[in-house]
Amino acid sequence: MMNHKTIYSISVLIFFSVFLGLFSLTASGAPVIMGVEPQQSVPGESVSIFGSELTPNIELRSSARTFQITGNINQNETEVSFQVPANIPAGEYEIAVTASSGTYFGGSGISLTITVGGTPFDTATATRPNIPTEGLPNFGQLISTIFTWSLNILGIVVFVMIFYAGFQWFTAAGNTAKVNEARDRITNAITGAIVLLAAYIILYTINPDLVGGRFTLPGIGTTSPTPGGGGGGGGGGTGACRDPGGTVANYAGDLEDAIDAVIDSNPGGIANEPNTWENSSIFLGYVAEELQSAGFNATISVSNGNDNPNSGDLIALWQNGDTTAERYDAVNSAGAGNQSMRNAATVGYTGDIPLSCVQQ
């Protein structure tokens, strides 16, 4: 029979295991932006955001427009790095991180100032913000790690107790008291092992990630644009900016020449980068500049066929006196990251659209 001390110990073990597991479920909080480095930058330069519970989905907002960027996030979700878009105008931008639960901005004084036409700032000499979470696990990951190691430690304790009790029994030399003590130790250790296994099964049923060394709650995670989602299929859709049909591409050759020029000059090595949403936006920003130098009006600030903002695969161009703009889907499989920009670049005419669908 187990005495009251044994029953108390088992109760404490069960409570501690289940409490840690359930507490881990609510440990994941909202993204918090705590710093940005550097705070002044230029198009094409790499910028890092520091904080906790971050996601790779970044927004740079000014009073005039918003840039959506997909960055690279570290394993602990405490740092996101991204490249400043090539077509971003000069000015001060609020920094936000988008999660499934909403959009979260940095606190007072956390902003990014863009200086167009300058040279990249020397980030090697920049003062790195004193961010205590940098490189450290977030709160949810810490609780999950503590619980996982607790299970491992308790398993080792059970093994040591059984081994010690066996040694005590072996050396009892017929002493009934010592034999009974050793037997009680083995019984309690086996009972503890059963309780530990039960706690594991209960927590695995609640969420397998709690006992797998990971902390990824089902349905809660970062989201990134679906390829084609931001572009809305280019000319398809039901909005005012859809392709009306019956139009002709007059500037396709000029767009192709501009794309070839950017590939040949390869500013910042962008032509060799994968066709992510961010790189597509940067590449087409250079293409727009090339078209502007040739006398065209060109922009990637164009709406898709559902009147939604461009995610990075569309470009519009027109000349002074035109009443409409020609819109092109200029990047194959944008967002897939499965080919270089030089191979993904294309000239896919999606129709003439009203000038109200482009930001001039």
More confident residue, 139 or 280: 280
- CATH node for 32-114: 2.60.40.10
* Residue matched to tokens 């205590």: 132
- What's the rounded mean pLDDT across residues 311-332? 89
Query: What is the predicted pLDDT for the residue at 140?
Result: 55
The helix (H) or strand (E) run that includes residue 351 is: strand 345-354
pTM: 0.39
What does the alpha-carbon distance between residue 350 and residue 360 come to, in Å, rounded to a whole number? 19
Q: What percent of the chain has pLDDT over 90?
A: 13
Residue 277 has pLDDT above 80, yes or no: yes
Name 84's Cβ contacts closer than 8 Å, sequence gap at least 6. Answer: 41, 42, 43, 44, 45, 46, 47, 112, 114
Q: What CA dihedral angle connects 33, 38, 41 and 46, to 10 degrees?
A: -80
Structural contact between residues 69 and 85, judged by C-beta atoms closer than 8 angstroms: yes
- What's the rounded mean pLDDT across residues 204-213? 60
Hey, where are the domains in the chain? 4-26+139-211, 32-114, 252-357
Predicted confidence band of residue 326 (pLDDT cuts 50, 70, 90): very high
Structural contact between residues 271 and 290, judged by C-beta atoms closer than 8 angstroms: no
Name 260's Cβ contacts closer than 8 Å, sequence gap at least 6. Answer: none
Chain segment 135-191, per-residue pLDDT in tens: 455 555 566 667 677 777 877 888 888 888 888 888 888 888 888 888 888 888 888
8-state DSSP, 313: S
What does the alpha-carbon distance between residue 58 and residue 53 come to, in Å, rounded to a whole number? 13
Query: What is the predicted pLDDT for the residue at 221?
Result: 38
What does the alpha-carbon distance between residue 300 and residue 325 come to, in Å, rounded to a whole number? 12
b (16+ CB within 10 A) / e for 63-84: eeeebbbbbebeebbbbbebbb
More confident residue, 316 or 138: 316
